[in-house]
Structure 1
Amino acid sequence: MTIWNQIKNLFSRSNPDINEPNHFASGETAVPAMNQQNMVDLMHRLEKTLEGTYSCDEAYALLDEYVELVADNEEARQLMPLVETHLDMCPDCRDEFELLLQILKTADTEE
């Protein structure tokens, strides 16, 4: 049995209808169906997860500092490795980082 089938069986035992549409959920709260690509994405994120990694709230609290380091071409990865790791794993926080960085760069060019 392949690892994919083992994982699929594990999820099917805990939620037999995981691949079926959730008719009771609506709007943005609906959970996407677990398919192979979703599972691969999840496994990649779990693989990158280290003990002591930051949550979104913890990373967001330091995001302004991190953005300034990146904008100043300083070694942000070395100075704030847990923020960098979180941004590598979290597309929502990464989007926020890129937006803040763009705003900061735009503000610097206008001065």
Structure 2
Amino acid sequence: MYQHHHISLLTENVTANKHFYTNVLGLRFIKNSVNQNNPHRRHIYYGDYVGTPGSVVTFFPVNFHSRQRVDGPSYFDGLAFNVSLESLGFWQHRLVNQF
């Protein structure tokens, strides 16, 4: 099975992004850095509390200005995290009560 180090995505609203990934999903805010290829672009990292491989998700803040962004074959519009069957009730309650 292939293990990825991390997934990088784009976000327009850093405050809402940080709230969702830390307060709702419970991930740890790992660091606020810069893109190594473009030091003028911010790069924020989240992950679980024990450093599980594949748990890291990162974001580049960008201004979309209400444009739909599509990047051809490298574009995807979703991200899924696995949870145990025993925790589904917990997550359903937590997510419903956040919105």
TM bucket (normalised to shorter chain) is: under 0.3
Higher strand share: 2
TM-score, normalised by the number of residues in structure 1: 0.23
The structure with more radius of gyration: 1
Higher helix share: 1
TM-score, normalised by the number of residues in structure 2: 0.24
Higher relative contact order (CA 8 A, sep 6+): 2
